[in-house]
Structure 1
Amino acid sequence: MGLWDGGPLPRKQIATYLSYHMFGKYDGHFIDSVTADSHMPPGWSLSDEFNDRYHHSLIPTELKHPQYYDDASVFVQGDENAWNKHKKWAIDPRSNPLNRQNFTGLAPALIITCGFDSLRDEGIFYGQALSKADVDVEWKHYEGAFHGIMYLGPTMEFKLGRQMQTDVIEFLSERL
């Protein structure tokens, strides 16, 4: 898997936010393990849970752009110390909804993903997990959009951001 590290929300910035959120401070070792993709336990990518919820074969082929994406590989490396530090947060469904054991009975969901968003794949995976549990899910993907585009107005407004806002309002209006 290619690790694109650009845009308004690069991997290192996400790792830094996670460090402050989980530990209340900057933890360089944890941040380095996240950016090196070794923050999970050794063998994580071989587990059934990984393959059922996080494997990149679950991403639609048309979203695997060769410029940014290599074929997914099996990563068996892992930093046991980093994993032990953040395990309680990583497995808690309040910090990662994909860790919820049962998705049935959840309210309808609108999942929005952007072509230039380091969180795109997690949105896709979450939508698929909800759909497998027969939750009413509507997924909208905006290929030319980037993370945060919907909330940049009023000083900077983008057509795609405005379209997202309209789609959210429409989704809610139909269900309230």
Structure 2
Amino acid sequence: MKLYWCLAFGVLFAYYTYCPMPDGLAEPMKLRIVFASRQIIKLVGIGAVLSGYTDRISFSRSVIEFEQGLLSLSCSDEPNITFQDEIFDGVRVRVYQPVEKSDKPIAGMVYVHGGGWVVGSVDSYHYQTNYIAARLGIVLVSVDYRLAPEHPFPVPLQDVVKATIWFLQNAKDYNVDPERIAVVGDSAGGNLAAATASLLTFQEKYKQMNLPKLKFQGLIYPCLQSLDFLTPSYQQNKNLFILNQHLMVEFWSWYLTGHLKYVAAMKVNNHTSPQVKDNERKIMGHDQIPTELKKRDYIPPTDFNFGNIGIFTSIQNHLLNPSFAPLMRSIVTGLPSAYIVTAEFDVLRDDGIFYVKKLEDANVPVTWKHYEHGYHGIFSVFKGPIASEVGRQSMDDFLRFCRENL
């Protein structure tokens, strides 16, 4: 019997390993191995869910923890960093500090993990946050915010804001200069980091607290808007297994409503109105995306006169809320400087580019790093069994920026 299972596994693995990959993608063979592994795990998950052993969300979270655990196999804890779990104003965080105490205040960072607001934790990101803190010699606070769909918007954002404010106010207790604290996040964490920077800059109740201004906002392939799921990058990468269009729309839907009722409408942009589509072209028109990035599998939209008004009416307060979708903020002058990462093979590529343009137009200092051969998740593969050169480069570039600007 064991032989049959081994043969079945081998056949499936070989079959999935030959999945097509777009030309130009960095180290496709490694990604094929990841894809094959995920597909087999997915088959196991379908059986477990159908049998009632678990549910889809719980299984997905377990898979992420397992995958991140594999990535961390060659990333042992850094000897010059100590860490412990704490509570910042009711929010669970993990605090990383240098073992050797400095005679003068050092820099700090709030890190917000990705995972579509649905999966991920301080544990699954431990190897990454531990590495960053050690390489920079800073105090890093990794926020274990509550997850959707159990806790949809605005709960995850509220957790990040509360933890960030507490750290800003108590930075000196950690020998941190409160004027040298950045907020950084990847993917959904990039959304929360951008929204946090925006709220602390513009919302009156936070302005009255006279908080130190964040040093910069680091947005690693962030998701920043939920109006257009047919941008060039969504079209070009809609079937790429790393993060496809359908899964990203599901993530947005879980964060938005806690359910998947509107996913079908959202995938074809039927969740907004003709008027909104007309207005959004001024904010995120496809002409803002460089021509060279639209040569692959892109069809320009020709019809904007459609939309389900009923759906839009029920969710418009969130869709147009800059705390939910930071790209929706009309005035961004005064925001902290930004470090923005985009990857060519990523449905979220254009979200980042739209934000780069928006900040540049408002004279907000922006450093934009685009990885031509990169894909969603490169920031997590700087070490370990599936590390890639583009992953190492993205981490090295980020660390270099931090050393020069934090």
Q: TM-score, normalized by length of structure 1?
A: 0.89
Matched, 1:136 2:365: yes
Q: For residues 81 and 154 of structure 1, do their structure 2 counterparts lie closer, same or farther at Cα, with a shift above 3 Å needed? A: farther
Q: CA–CA distance in 1 between the matches of 2:354 and 2:263?
A: 23
- Alignment correspondent of 1:68: 297
**Which structure has the highest strand share of the two?**
2
Matched, 1:12 2:246: yes
Write out per-residue CA displacement over residues 27-50 of structure 1, whole angstroms, 9 at most, x where no aligned residue.
Answer: 2xx100111121211233322xx2
Shift of 1:63: 0.9
Write out per-residue CA displacement over residues 43-90 of structure 1, whole angstroms, 9 at most, x where no aligned residue.
Answer: 33322xx2321100111111112x311234342211112212321211
Q: CA–CA distance in 1 between the matches of 2:366 and 2:391?
A: 20
Check the 8 A contact 1:89/1:95 in 2, yes or no. Answer: yes
Match of 2:266, as an amino acid?
V
Quote the RMSD (CA, aligned, Å).
1.7
What does 1:94-173 align with in structure 2 at a 5 Å threshold?
94-152=323-381, 153-173=383-403
Instruction: Note the residue ranges of structure 1 that are not aligned, 5 or more in a row.
Output: none
Write out per-residue CA displacement over residues 148-174 of structure 1, whole angstroms, 9 at most, x where no aligned residue.
Answer: 121134232111111111111111211
Q: For residues 144 and 104 of structure 1, do their structure 2 counterparts lie closer, same or farther at Cα, with a shift above 3 Å needed? A: same
Match of 2:298, as an amino acid?
Y
Q: CA–CA distance in 2 between the matches of 1:46 and 1:74?
A: 10
- Alignment correspondent of 2:274: 42
Shift of 1:18: 1.4
Match of 1:45, as an amino acid?
K
Check the 8 A contact 1:115/1:144 in 2, yes or no. Answer: yes
Q: For residues 143 and 22 of structure 1, do their structure 2 counterparts lie closer, same or farther at Cα, with a shift above 3 Å needed? A: same
Q: CA–CA distance in 2 between the matches of 1:104 and 1:135?
A: 6
- Alignment correspondent of 2:285: 55
Query: Whose relative contact order is higher, 1 or 2, with alpha carbons under 8 Å and at least 6 apart?
Result: 1
Identity of aligned residues (%): 31
Instruction: Note the residue ranges of structure 2 that are not aligned, 5 or more in a row.
Output: 1-229
Q: For residues 18 and 71 of structure 1, do their structure 2 counterparts lie closer, same or farther at Cα, with a shift above 3 Å needed? A: closer
Shift of 1:26: 2.6
Q: CA–CA distance in 1 between the matches of 2:307 and 2:245?
A: 17
- Alignment correspondent of 2:312: 83
The size of the alignment, in residue pairs, is 171
Match of 1:19, as an amino acid?
S
Check the 8 A contact 1:10/1:118 in 2, yes or no. Answer: yes
Structure 1 moving runs of 4+ over 4 Å: none
Match of 1:6, as an amino acid?
N
Q: CA–CA distance in 2 between the matches of 1:113 and 1:23?
A: 27
Q: CA–CA distance in 2 between the matches of 1:175 and 1:140?
A: 15
- Alignment correspondent of 2:116: none
- Alignment correspondent of 2:75: none
Radius of gyration: which is bigger?
2
Q: TM-score, normalized by length of structure 2?
A: 0.40
